[in-house]
Amino acid sequence: MATQGTRKGSAKSESWWEPSFGDLLVLVGAIVLLVSLFLNWWTGPADQVLVSAWTALEVADLILAAIAVIAILLVLPAPPGKADFNKSGAAWLPWLGPISLVVIAAALINDPPAVNGLSLAVGAWIGLGGAIAMTVGGILRRVGLSVSISRRS
């Protein structure tokens, strides 16, 4: 008979992943940033012209996508039996959020040529929010802040 908290056949319960609050924030921010690239970042008069980040940003969209994917890979653990490269890349994780913030800020301040005269749409703000979440999560992960949630009895 297995006791509570242990698996049948093992003496100790092993968790696949025990993320910190910073890890979760980086993960959510990276996913939000990646999804925002497919949303409309700029809009024209009467919403007749809608431009996504993939259309307007020449190289910045590729940089942002790469940052988001790298952040996701660094936060998630490797499957059992595979090389865990996120331990060696963990030093880069706190820098991915600020780099994405700079790239997004440059795109928002200096409109790309394809969207000259268009106004910002919701996708740009969602992408900015994802970059901010990645930055805050990276900082929390760096300082080692974690949150523990437990039930009172």
Distance from the first to the final alpha carbon of the chain: 25
Domain coordinates in residue numbering, the chain: 21-143
Q: What is the pLDDT of residue 89?
A: 65
Between CA 8 and CA 17, with CA 13 as vertex, the angle to 5 degrees is 130
Model confidence over 28-64: pLDDT tens digits? 999 999 999 999 888 888 677 788 888 888 888 999 9
Rounded distance between C-alpha atoms, residue 125 and residue 113, angstroms = 19
Q: What is the pLDDT of residue 152?
A: 67
Give Cα separations from 125 to 32, 66, 100, 137 (angstroms): 11, 19, 13, 18
Model confidence over 78-95: pLDDT tens digits? 666 666 555 666 777 888
Q: What is the pLDDT of residue 66?
A: 94
Predicted TM-score of the model (pTM): 0.78
